[in-house]
Amino acid sequence: MTGGGTGIGAAITEVLADHGAHVVIASRKLDNLTAVADRVTGRTGRRIVPVRTDVRDEAEVAALVQHTVDELGTIDILVNNAGGSYMFPILGTTPARWDNSIALNLRAPYLTTHYTLPHMVEARRGAIVNISSVAAIRGVRGGAAYAAGKAGLQAFTQVVAGEHGPHGIRANAIAVGTVASEGALRSWERFGMTVADIEREVPLRRVGRPADIAWGVLYLASDMSSWMTGHTLVIDGGPPMPGLAVAD
């Protein structure tokens, strides 16, 4: 799993380990990965293997996949969780900013999938879960590159599902709503927004928790969704609905 050191990634690691999985977790910050691995292994007894990886780098991704196979023998589940919401208006989105966002949100999941698929094809089984965003569905002001990358990821998910369903491999995505991860909280503060401001726009009147997304990953990665592929599961507390205000 990529992006396993904090927030949603750490929660996914916890939930998968709680249900019997050994997990290789990757990100650029080894200290964060090691802290998650120590905590989850100590509590569950499952093997959590931290691997420092820049998922934008093809050679590092290839090495990550091979290391996973060497450590665990096979790859049953791939979770592409690493991503980044670099927020700039279109006129402030320089080509370099665009390329960096697409590299992280679209090219990186392609790389991990490209190097993982041969192992899944050989085993005739596998589940791929790509973490997308509701920005891919509804757009978001200031997020042209982010929304485009995540929309591309959802289309990529459908193609993987169609090409590799006959190999017993399923691919699905999760469109994540507003989740109070560490990075999101910092971003909201930077833009002068509070949790209360955001919750007023959510029908269920709360922001998401990392565990909300982790449970969705468990569903899509397990036999609970064995006849589901090529879909995007939206987990967002309900879509904002313009119109008359409704009293709480």
Helix, strand, or coil (residue 23)? strand
Which residues is 57 bridged to in the sheet? none
CA-to-CA dists, residue 211 to 37, 89, 111, 167, 215, angstroms:
17, 31, 26, 30, 6
User: What b-and-e string marks burial along 162-187, b requiring 16 or more CB atoms within 10 Å of the CB?
Assistant: eebeeeebbbbbbbbbbbbbeebbee
219 is annotated as an active-site residue? no
**CA separation for the pair 109, 50 (Å, rounded):** 18
CB under 8 Å to 200, separation ≥6 — which residues?
A: none
**CA separation for the pair 94, 78 (Å, rounded):** 32
Given the residues 86, 110, 146, 219, the one annotated as active site: 146
| Residue 180 contacts residue 195 (beta carbons within 8 Å) | yes
Which residues is 172 bridged to in the sheet? 129
Q: Which residues are catalytic?
A: 146
